[in-house]
Structure 1
């Protein structure tokens, strides 16, 4: 939950930087331009060329006696290009969560039994390290305290229901036979465009397929990239990014999550913890090896 110590990153414009010159007077906005330029560049790169997903760690477990969902340290990227770093083992109180959900639900009895939920991580920047600071000259330059550091971290939330995943590059996904969006109207349009192209490649002589397959991949990638565009948002730099809102990163699903009370003692239980519902980033060296293995007859996908 955000409080007065929360802060926004000064990462508003990746295409404007400071043009410094000798004797130049620097103010807060100038220093924010220096710091925010590289921050905004990295966010732009992460958001468009990597997307949201887990880089390492962030394993999930449920501890019955303490009634906690526990998440191990880890690193992730969200779809706004921000790094989410969780430095220590973190916990969510299930007893408190069930109570909150009952208060908000139209049918509270649902949460008396087993329910499905998913764990998400959300970026947060916190103000830290207070130091003496000067107020505005108009206020007489009196001494006050201000925060001198921004610390980037991650918040954890437990959300009712199972997670959903929105696919990117829908034509490429269809070309490789991957599931679509689940929206019938959109998937039908994509299939009508891509399926004939795929059928043409598969019907071609084997000697011609590598070239035709490459042409099909290039065509689908080009059309998908034309369709991608930033989301219009407020003036925090997100107007150049593909995502919007809190940009939660799914860490995994908890199936049949429940609280059980026996002889006055309440413990937590869970049927299945499914981390396969998350998106995971794989390093380029491993991707190169996987792609190379795929070119060997009978040795790859």
Structure 2
């Protein structure tokens, strides 16, 4: 266990001669060919390199299983034992970090060299200390065998190690754990609402515009539009990815040059005293910051879990009732004109199926409707008021529910609500509700200045 002195030297698997990595170079053995050490290194490095590339680019760094972290307290003995269970992880170079058996250590002993950490004025005895527990690869060579060498070479080695153990080593460092680096595929994360586009962020703004466009579509068109945008933005994000390239060398094969350590847990410790007199008073283990790699089967299950919400609008069969478009025309100050998708049953307009109200600081006012007109050829529904709306904010409700809804002529079924809304049945439809602002000049529009005006509306479907 390394503590407090920084990271121990770790062999980078893509540069260490004992752990070769050459995913695009393989052995072509020929009949009668004499195979040497370099040939076997080439053979080993091909499969190893391909697996590392796959892990690093497609999965990234994280915990696969295990590596549970806990602190066991023995009140009678006054000890706190840090325990880490066996587990498997993947580091930033795609190498597997396998801890074959549980590990434990006296936590007070492990943090004694954190003596200066967490002090307030240099003299405080009781204080809070933060530490970060992580795992990294620390391979070592073993299993020596006799080595062939020139007998005249006095500096020759008589044995050479024949095995490399890819050991996982735990490290406890002082201070809080570092924040997780930003994730790739920024466009996709903005599209799905996981990140926000900042000012000057061209790629993020592109994804934000795509998300806004999808949200404005009718419900039945959103899923295919989202899939199309997802594929487009994923292609652009992947094209932007590039291997790490040092300033003084060729590009690497991997997304980063430093394999990094895989975070296991953050520790917050309440301690008293220093050195051998240090005692732990309280502790907290935080696993939330560590990355976790999920199997493909789990992703399949999660996608199926979202399916009911995605399919809800398609499971119900629409009865074909007329719908109201999502714009309002105002040819005259006291006329509101709606457009519908099919002819209406004229008799259904006689039972007061439309209401118009306006809102002020003092409350709602119900506007007086003189009559309702329907043009079956132009597919319009005009609401003629006795006077222009009293206040700026106006709300129109065309009933598709209740005892007197608007009905379609063919088929004779209730109004299904707004265009793009949920399905309506033969027995009950949906109200079409539009909210708009006429402008404060509404009181003085009797001269017809508002003629031909088309107003933007905030609309909703009422179940």
TM-score calculated relative to the size of structure 2: 0.56
How far is 1:103 from its partner? 6.7
Which secondary structure does the structure 1 equivalent of 2:288 belong to? helix
Q: How does 1:84-99 map to 2 (within 5 A)?
A: 84-91=97-104, 94-99=107-112
1:29 match: 38
CA distance, structure 1, for counterparts of residue 156 and residue 83 of structure 2? 46
Which secondary structure does the structure 2 equivalent of 1:208 belong to? helix
2:244 match: 231
2:270 match: 258
Q: Compared with structure 1, are the counterparts of its residues 190 and 68 closer, same or farther at alpha carbon in structure 2 (3 Å cutoff)?
A: farther
**Is the 8 Å Cα contact of residues 118 and 127 (structure 2) preserved in structure 1?**
no
CA distance, structure 2, for counterparts of residue 130 and residue 51 of structure 1? 35
2:176 match: 161
1:15 match: 24
2:140 match: 126
Give 1 or 2: higher helix fraction: 1
**Is the 8 Å Cα contact of residues 62 and 268 (structure 1) preserved in structure 2?**
no
Are 1:289 and 2:301 counterparts?
Answer: yes
Structure 1: gaps spanning 5 or more residues: none
How far is 1:102 from its partner? 4.4
Which secondary structure does the structure 1 equivalent of 2:223 belong to? helix
Which secondary structure does the structure 1 equivalent of 2:138 belong to? strand
CA distance, structure 2, for counterparts of residue 202 and residue 29 of structure 1? 58
**Is the 8 Å Cα contact of residues 17 and 34 (structure 1) preserved in structure 2?**
yes
Q: How does 1:175-254 map to 2 (within 5 A)?
A: 175-179=191-195, 188-232=201-245, 239-254=252-267
Are 1:170 and 2:186 counterparts?
Answer: yes
How far is 1:88 from its partner? 1.6
Q: Compared with structure 1, are the counterparts of its residues 267 and 67 closer, same or farther at alpha carbon in structure 2 (3 Å cutoff)?
A: farther
TM-score calculated relative to the size of structure 1: 0.83
How far is 1:84 from its partner? 0.2
Q: Compared with structure 1, are the counterparts of its residues 58 and 227 closer, same or farther at alpha carbon in structure 2 (3 Å cutoff)?
A: same
Q: Compared with structure 1, are the counterparts of its residues 107 and 100 closer, same or farther at alpha carbon in structure 2 (3 Å cutoff)?
A: farther
CA distance, structure 2, for counterparts of residue 101 and residue 240 of structure 1? 38
- Equivalent pairs, count: 294
CA distance, structure 1, for counterparts of residue 196 and residue 103 of structure 2? 34
Are 1:45 and 2:54 counterparts?
Answer: yes
CA distance, structure 2, for counterparts of residue 105 and residue 261 of structure 1? 12
Which secondary structure does the structure 2 equivalent of 1:162 belong to? coil
CA distance, structure 2, for counterparts of residue 86 and residue 108 of structure 1? 40
Structure 2: gaps spanning 5 or more residues: 3-7, 313-463
How far is 1:12 from its partner? 2.6
Greater shift in the superposed pair: 189-198 or 17-26 = 189-198
1:278 match: 290
CA distance, structure 1, for counterparts of residue 151 and residue 184 of structure 2? 51
Which secondary structure does the structure 2 equivalent of 1:171 belong to? helix
